[in-house]
Amino acid sequence: MSQPTEIHSLAGAFALDALSEFERAAFVRHVAECSACEFEVSELRETASRLGDLAWEAPPARLRDAVFAEVARTRQVPVGRAPVEPREVKAVTRWRRWTAAAVAAGVVALGGIATVWVVQEQRVGDVRAQADQLRRDQARIAAVLAAGDVKINSGTVPGGGNMTVAISRGLDDGVIMLDGLRSPGADNAYELWLVTAGGPTSVGVLDPGTGQGTALLDSIGSASAVAVSREKAGGSTTGTPTVVVSTVAL
Amino acid sequence: MGVTTRAGRGDPAWTGPEHVPMGPDELLRQVARGDEQAFRSLYSMIAPRVYGLARRVLRDPAQAEEVAQEALVEVWRTAARFDSAKGSATSWVLTIAHRRAVDRVRSAQAGAERERRVAAASGQTPYDDVVEEVTASLEQQQVRRCLQGLTDLQREAITLAYYSGFTYREVAEKLDTALPTIKTRMRDGLIRLRDCLGVEVSPAPAGPGSVRR
């Protein structure tokens, strides 16, 4: 337990909360003295939390009331404790990581390093934007599913798979999920529609050849059903469904 | 990503970020400033995961409810300690919830502990008996797929620890495997999961309080 390398091998167990109190305390001390470890631990913790996605379960409604009541009479710890310093440390760590990668790749000329830096920044920015988008979508989906008035309808799609729609009239928000549909063919795509008295409105086109996906409904209004159609890749060009595969009433 | 579809033709769902509610990170920052309304929005997003995780670890619904309540109030109370440079708000919240659930399950050792061991040892892989329902969002599918990409030992070690709250020593005992092997599998299994899920923790692009993009 006293060897630095040995204690570092506990990073996984730490991230999973699988250490005894004693080992945990020792590990926390170790991380405090090792900024590279801190970075790894942050990522492993983030990873472990993703396992929580599989445990999703709607809580009883009284939990909401109990939590809000307690929150209303609970004082918060004050803002302004140590947010700046760790961020700077982290930035240095990350920079070192990139520099190390650049050197390893044989890019040692100064200009070369600068280029790698810019490219990496760009790529990280793109990935982050995508991840943000995904998280926002996920947060909206979770909000719909957690809504008190959520209504869920599901139908099987001829040829295999399911279309499920969850809506909250209160939030005026909803989500359509397609799962396990037969591939429409590499040049075709499934398109999702919201059906109102005025006709169908497209709410999303899946990637070509894909039989699963999710589309968010921004407004449900007076819609009576959702539908999925098969289209040429990229979706219907006429504004109406070409071949309706299945519909689910709301 | 290719998971969430993107509609064209000016569909209102995709016209821009002004229609999108705030994500957990921004909400949590507002919660830290005492915004109860932000906390209510955050609650809607995270409570099912907090409760579900507590339920998974503790199994008993009443205890899970208690632990979820404690964890969510702790989120409110200590929101100022959230540092987005160390990870996402969702992860921060789930870390609090998981820790509390694990503490509870370990302190409740004695009789319940024996039952739990028996239940967990009865042959089911822990993550398999998670209820399949519409909540099988794409993120969940991705986690499942990535779990399948682990070796059996990595997967068992990780799921026994995370979903049942066993220490790595208990996991080693249960799986009849040497202690150093188990801690190594937990670490390299999580590293493989991290790479499969594309998890990346990076400092905020422009200092504290900055908004995405």
For the residues of B116-157, what is the DSSP string, one character each?
HHHHHHSS--GGGGSPPSTT--HHHHHHHHHHHTS-HHHHHH
Residue A41 lies in a domain: no
Are A130 and A103 within one domain?
yes
What per-residue confidence (pLDDT) applies to A8?
81
Q: For residue A217, how many other CB atoms are within 10 A of its CB? A: 27
On whether both B190 and B160 belong to a single domain, the answer is: yes
- Evaluate whether residue A67 is within a structural domain: no
Instruction: Say if B10 falls within a structural domain.
Output: no
Q: What is the mean pLDDT of each run of 10 residues along chain A (250 residues)?
A: 65 94 82 84 95 90 95 85 37 37 39 46 61 68 72 78 81 80 88 85 85 79 87 87 86
Distance between CA A141 and CA B46 in Å, rounded? 11
* B11, part of any domain: no
Strands (E) across chain A are located at 151-156, 162-168, 173-179, 188-196, 199-205, 213-217, 225-232, 243-249
Determine the pLDDT at residue B205. 45
**B46, B78, B108 — which closes off a domain?**
B108
pLDDT, residue B20, reads: 54
**Residues of chain B with confidence (pLDDT) below 70:** 1-21, 108-137, 203-213
pLDDT at res. B62: 93
Confidence at residue A71, expressed as pLDDT on a 0 to 100 scale: 95
* Chain A residue nearest residue B14, CA to CA: A218
The answer on B134 and B87 residing in a single domain is no
B91 to A44: CB separation less than 8 angstroms, yes or no: no
- Domain count of the fold of chain B: 2
Cβ burial of A182 (10 Å; 0-12, 13-18, 19+) is: middle
In Å, what is the CA distance from A237 to each residue of A189, B10, B156? Answer: 12, 14, 49
For the stretch B12-40, pLDDT in tens is 333 344 445 688 999 999 999 999 999 99
Q: Report pLDDT for A163.
A: 83
Total count of domains within chain A: 2
Contact A67 B198 (CB under 8 A): no
Range of the domain at A167: 151-249
* Residue B131 burial (CB count, 10 A): 11
Q: Do B187 and A11 touch (CB under 8 A)?
A: yes
Contact status, residue A43 vs residue B8, Cβ threshold 8 Å: no
Report pLDDT for B109.
57
What's the pLDDT score for residue A17? 96
Do the domain assignments include residue B132?
yes
Q: Which of the residues A1, A9, A19, A56 would you substitute to probe the B interface, choosing the one with the greatest number of B C-beta atoms within 10 Å?
A: A56
The burial of B111, by beta-carbon neighbours within 10 Å (0-12 exposed, 13-18 middle, 19 or more buried), is given as: exposed
CATH number at residue B100: 1.10.1740.10
CB B203 within 8 A of CB A94: yes
Please indicate, yes or no, if residue B7 is contained in any of the structural domains. Answer: no
User: Is A42 within 8 Å of B87 (Cβ atoms)?
Assistant: yes
Domain extent, residue B182, equals 123-201
Distance CA B24, CA B38 (A): 9
User: Could you tell me if residue B138 is inside a domain?
Assistant: yes
Same domain, A139 and A175: no
* In-domain check, residue A31: no
Residues A184 and A232 in one domain: yes
Q: Does B130 touch chain A (CB under 8 A)?
A: yes
Provide, as residue numbers in chain B, all residues whose Cβ is less than 8 Å from the Cβ of A164. Answer: 134
Read off the CATH number of the domain in which B174 is found: 1.10.10.10
Neighbours of A99 (CB within 10 A): 14
Of B8, B127, B187, the CB nearest to A9: B187
pTM over 0.80: no
Does residue B14 sit within a domain? Answer: no
Q: Check CB contact under 8 Å for B171 and A219.
A: no
Q: For residue B141, tell me if it sits in a domain.
A: yes
* ipTM attached to this prediction: 0.79
pLDDT digits (tens, 9 = 90+) for A101-152: 433 443 333 444 444 444 555 556 666 666 666 666 767 777 777 676 777 7
Residue type, B9: R
d(CA B116, CA B170): 12
Contact A220, A194 (CB under 8 A): yes
Q: Provide the pLDDT for residue B133.
A: 41
**In chain B, which residues have their Cβ closer than 8 Å to the Cβ of A60?**
61, 65
Whether residue A139 is found in the same domain as residue A191: no
What pLDDT does B12 receive? 38
Residue type, B128: D
Q: Is residue A196 assigned to a domain? A: yes
